A and B are shown apart, each in its own frame.
Chain A
Amino acid sequence: MNNKISGRAYVLGDNIDTDQIIPAEHLVYSTSDEEELKNYGRFALTGVPPLQAGLPEGRKPFVKEGDFTSEYSVIIGGSNFGCGSSREHAPLALNVAGVKAVVAESYARIFYRNSVDGGFLVPFETPKKLNEVIKTGDEVEIDLGANTITNLSDSKTYSLNSLGSVYDIVMAGGIFSYARKTGMLAK
């Protein structure tokens, strides 16, 4: 895990549930077959109502028609990000689409765990709502050492909550590599 994550931001509202992240009808594709796996990227965030897709303007598809990856690699959400089902396909779909981190005010437990334990992306919590100050398309940079996110478009920096007790799992890249590193599982 690098100490910096940068890319273009894709901004969403509050309560982005797992049906919006990856609609249930797409949960049939193999997660190990490389060609089939691409479908998770293709359909990532296709359940978001058009007016809420890519704030503040909306109507900005996360993945362009016919593509399998997104031009955006950092999601900026609001409160209760990832609520709903336990489907690990949700952080997986964002990962396949090219997302490295989600920055949100708060998360639903299972989405948070799945992101960390599966090593799909880093879920950062923020003390303040950033989905009202960062716009879709802004270039942002996250500094894991300093726990900050900087909007390179206007040079404003905001603090992120410390990853706390999951920091070691995030840095190891997931629960399995963490368990091997700490000797809980044989290497």
Chain B
Amino acid sequence: MGMTITEKILAKSAGKSRLTPGENVWLNVDVLMTHDVCGPPTIEIWKKEFGQEAKIWDKDKLVIFPDHYIFTANVHANRNVEMLRTFAKEQNLKNYYDPGTERYKGVCHIALAEEGFNVPGTVLFGTDSHTCTSGAFGMFSTGVGNTDAAFIMGTGKIWEKVPESIKFTFNGKMPDYLTAKDLILQILGDIGTDGATYCAMEFDGEAIESLSMYERMTLTNMAIETGAISGIIAFDQVTEKFLEGKVKGNYEVFKSDSDAKYLKTFTYDVSKLRPVVAAPHSPDKRALASEVKGTKVTKCYIGSCTGGKITDFRFAARVLHGNKVKVPTFIVPGSTAVAKMLEEETFEGSTLKEIFQSAGCNIAPPSCAACLGGPIDTFGRSVDGDVVVSTTNRNFPGRMGSKNAGVYLASPLTVAATAVNGSLADPAEYM
């Protein structure tokens, strides 16, 4: 019996020749990532358990991106960032990216890719459920809590139950109105928010191969919304090109065997798919954009690790160019690199930033911002009975701030079309 890409990577990390789904193994971790919300409690647990003079197992493998609550007057949130700053200094950490300095990067999952921490064949853990994003690079990555992260910080090891894999194959050529966000919302509607609990989601097929790394990251980012431990896309030429100049040295590339065992397989023809949304209050409440068009909307939001990448803004600019938004529209680049690209990249003679400004959008500096609500003064936070159409990944009750608000998750094309239309719109009509 062959092995899946996930089983091969975990076997290598566990120092074994083969693994079987369901068995518990101790993994050697290649990179541990944390941020301002979970970093401080992780450090406190680590100090409590390993002592005040404890040493990090390998301080070059610890990466800290403050990104959640950055532009706020909240004293507790600012204290958390200050705590990370002090810790990085005390431990002499080279991979600390301080807010307020040129080193600040923005949202951790995008920054991990841009700074070269996503390396094919490796194992990455992070104190954030969307750590699964890095799987787009043919690696195993997943989220853990503070205690597990503190254990890794001290030992470089963690136990994991080897997951079964579920394969999602997307055939055909992507129509211009369809994005990776539509693909993952399509899957969520089919299998639900616990449809892949504890499984690894593996994506392949002609349509996946045609996607840029940033679009692939949208797919693996939302693997967690199905309950999956991870999402993964095998290394190919697109991955190789992205990694040029970012990852130094050799890395090992893995692929699933043709006789690997899958718990289930799903096959889609992308030419038959249409733009979809997830209606309030669950990422699996799928509806066709054409079915819900006309729904009253009070805010549009383009940002986050899912929907704040340069590719998301390129999609949005195509629709917003030469138009004015009819509802307040909030733009939050995922990283400082993305923010810079908005000022440099042009479409029809204008920079993306100029297009958004002329359309009347509000633009903020990079951070997680209102994706998860955040402190009261967070940019774009939902209030009262807001109805938000957003490129983010979750629409649980209260997720973007107000408990009484409703959030529609959608592609950047759908959000931009909605902003221009003033009520929920089908982007296929704006192409």
Contacts and interface: CB of A to CB of B under 8 A. Distances in A.
Interface residues of A, number: 43
B148 A47 contact: no
Interface stretch (B72-80, B169-177, B234-242, B338-346): B72-80
Nearest to A119: B147
B326 interface: no
A83 B41 contact: no
B145 A24 contact: no
Interface string B53-76: 000000000000000010000101
A47 B397 CA distance: 7
Contacts of A47: 397-398, 403
Interface stretch (B1-9, B112-120, B307-315, B367-375): B367-375
A118 interface: yes
Given A28-B77, A87-B38, A49 B403 contact: yes
B193 A15 contact: yes
B145 A19 contact: no
A155 interface: no
B151 A175 contact: yes
Nearest to B77: A28
Contacts of B394: 17, 19, 84
Contact of B148 (A15, A24, A49, A175): A175
Interface residues of B, number: 49
Nearest to B375: A25
A88 B145 contact: yes
Interface string A106-146: 11111001100111000000000000000000000000000
29 contacts: A15-B282, A19-B372, A19-B399, A24-B372, A25-B376, A27-B37, A28-B76, A28-B80, A30-B44, A32-B48, A47-B398, A47-B403, A79-B194, A83-B193, A83-B194, A86-B38, A86-B126, A86-B127, A88-B146, A88-B147, A107-B197, A110-B144, A110-B145, A113-B148, A114-B148, A175-B151, A175-B159, A176-B147, A176-B151
Nearest to A179: B151
Nearest to A32: B44
A interface, by DSSP: helix, strand, loop or mixed?
loop
Interface in A129-184: 165, 174-176, 179, 184
A86 B80 CA distance: 18
Given A28-B77, A47-B397, A106 B44 contact: no
B204 interface: no
A174 B397 contact: no
A118 to B, nearest CB: 4
Contacts of B48: 32
Interface of B: 24, 37-38, 40-41, 44, 48-49, 69, 74, 76-77, 79-80, 126-129, 131, 143-148, 151, 154-155, 159, 161, 193-194, 197-198, 227, 229, 282, 372-376, 394, 396-399, 401, 403
A109 B396 contact: no
A19 B80 contact: no
Given A113-B148, A114-B148, 20 more contacts: A19-B394, A19-B397, A19-B399, A23-B398, A24-B399, A25-B374, A27-B37, A28-B37, A28-B79, A29-B76, A47-B398, A49-B403, A83-B194, A85-B128, A86-B126, A86-B128, A88-B145, A107-B197, A175-B148, A179-B151
Interface in A90-111: 91, 106-110
A141 to B, nearest CB: 28
A30 B83 CA distance: 11
Nearest to B75: A28
